[in-house]
Structure 1
Amino acid sequence: MRQDKPFEARMKLKAAEIGFAACGVARADAAPAAGRRLREWLADGAHGSMLWMEARAHHRESPAALWPEVRSVIALGMSYAPATDPLALADAGEHARISVYAQGGDYHDVIKRRLKELARWIVVEAPGADVKVFVDTAPVMEKPLAEAAGLGWQGKHTNLVSRSHGSWLFLGAIYTTLALDPDAAGQGSCGSCDACQTACPTDAFPAPYRLDARRCISYLTIEHKGPIPHEFRAAIGNRIYGCDDCLAVCPWNKFAAAAQANRAFAPRAELTAPELADLLALDDAAFREVFAGSPIKRIGRGRWVRNCLIAAGNSDSAALVAPVAALLDDPAPEVRGAAVWALSRLDRLRFAAERAARLAGEGDAGVRAEWSLTDPAATA
């Protein structure tokens, strides 16, 4: 590697060698509006039950609030562009849809390893520099910082859009005490396009560039605990972990070649089109075994089966009646409640009989409410 090149250029070459598809630099104070927008979003309650967003909001507002010594932010992106259409299973009721990013290994682990590798290179090449690496779970505003560093712009779906990688970039950041030359900020180019807004099944965008997480399928299937609100269940369809719809319809994706995606994010064959009947049969031990090393594992078996039951209720599949009914005895109330709803959609006569036999003995108020919300006389 030529040592007469500027440090920033050599760093970007090293980032590409490690596997990053995009790398840019921003001053630590380059996204001053991000903190204000965050406070407004939190004040609206649009974060739902993600109380950790509130708890460390002061750290998220700016890089210096988290680490006062930071002078530059190195924003990095890894492509996870899918090889197949994420919307292809929309009408395959007996199969489940898992968000593209969760079909392979846990991206947190993959990206953090690569960030640490680049960070080690930086401290060797720039003796005396301090660095800190962050990916997703840290209180860092990756998207505004990535825009400030020229990786793209925050689209109307609030995610980063890249001219080269569409809406398919995992983001990470390295904070450093080095005063690096910044790149030009990304320029927004969504224009009049509203494809991502109209594609959302639950109307989670009250306005362009604004997301109400409480209505977002990704939030409802991953972050939200307890029963999923009735108003969103039908719209969830067969999505059981996340939702790709607003990302998948972005016109800029035509430039995002799947071949550019990092091999570390290659989907596991059994998660590209899994059958709901198989997923409903997972007990806790089987769930942990199947999803070891997967981001899906963090939601736990209860939320996972709850999601699968909502999908089953939307499937119109007689073959799923038996596996759904078997979960009426599940020890987890969130699972039993979802099974009640699913059965009411799949088999009205079976639902009426099960309700008559079970309602009086149900000890959980939430599950009793599920039994009571549907009148068996009206569904018989």
Structure 2
Amino acid sequence: MAEEEEGNEYRWETGYEKTWEAIKEDDDGLLEASVAEIIQRAKRKRQAERRPNTRLGMMRHLYIILDCSDAMTDQDLKPTRQLCTAKLLEGFIEEYFDQNPISQMGIIVTRNKRAELVCELAGNVRKHVDIVKQIAQGPCSGEPSLQNSLELALSSLRLLPGHASREVLIIMGSLTTCDPHDINVTIQKLKAEGVRCSVIGLAAEVRVCRQLSKETGGLYSVILDDCHFRDLLLQQVEPPPAARTQDCSLVRMGFPHHSKIGNDAVDGGSTSNSNAMSFCMCHLDVEGKVDSSKLGATGHLCPQCGSKYCELPVECRACGLTLVSAPHLARSYHHLFPVDNFLELDAKENVKPNCFGCRRKFVDIDKHVYKCGACSHIFCLDCDIFVHDTLHSCPGCTSTAKGVK
């Protein structure tokens, strides 16, 4: 056998990353410090990829397409793919509406080569969570149909106004899809309508899913485990960049007050009975059935038509006016003007012994600390992520007189 020359490698060896070389022992012969540094950089990767001064789609309309085929009964995710996905979706739904209060979501399931709309576009968190729990107890059978699911979502999203953000998130456990026609035609329709499609694969990469996300400007990822699955879902919480086809227009909204029905009237009049009992519109479904437990004298009255609702935000079923409160708009406002990224400093250069946010004492495992460029306070990694992903304001800046002004 001829001796191997330096730099001469087999084709399958070229470009191979020797990741184990990045893990080095510390002075005590431990790997904990190197592993912790790798984890820290992975956590901050998504934050570093954010681009400032980006136009975002604030009024989001998202359809979740959930694979309920035979593949979801596999047990590589415990206890099964179906139950693990449902549990993670519950947390995602709550986080989605917390960070996007004026947005809406719908759910589509696909099984037996068909697609079924189980929840139309709405902004009720509890309703969506209850439906996901029902899906978790439902059957998983047959093959999924990606094309039928996309056509069903497109039939609803194409009717939205031009200023609305149109999105589809597909959770795919199967490696195959059974479609009636050419799915490439459907992909071009989605692209023409400005629908952004993202895919999270539970098994392996599928070419048609990669092509779908690439053509529509979405994201495509394959999970490693349940923790990685959760991180991929949370990537969908932040509003995506607005499509070029998305219009810029003023949106009419109503700001109702929570009050007794008899005390406030639409036209400024008054009723004879100040404690008039009535049903709210949000618990009146399409079949005309009502929940008797929701009969009450208080609620939010639509300022345009007087319809009553028990919670906000919601789109009025009678006149179509979007009903919100000021805090809902304030939470959406944070996405337009995010906190500037903190400066990453070497822990050896840090003179502060504690994190300003959680007051935790810095230890040897903390290779980096993070400094606010405005107030110069020092934060740990967890507080840095919390400030940018959840709080949306620097506690150091808001606690100083300069920051309050």
From the CA coordinates, give the structure whose radius of gyration is larger: 2
- Whichever structure has more helix as a proportion of its residues is 1
TM-score when scaled to structure 1? 0.28
- Whichever structure has more strand as a proportion of its residues is 2
TM-score when scaled to structure 2? 0.27
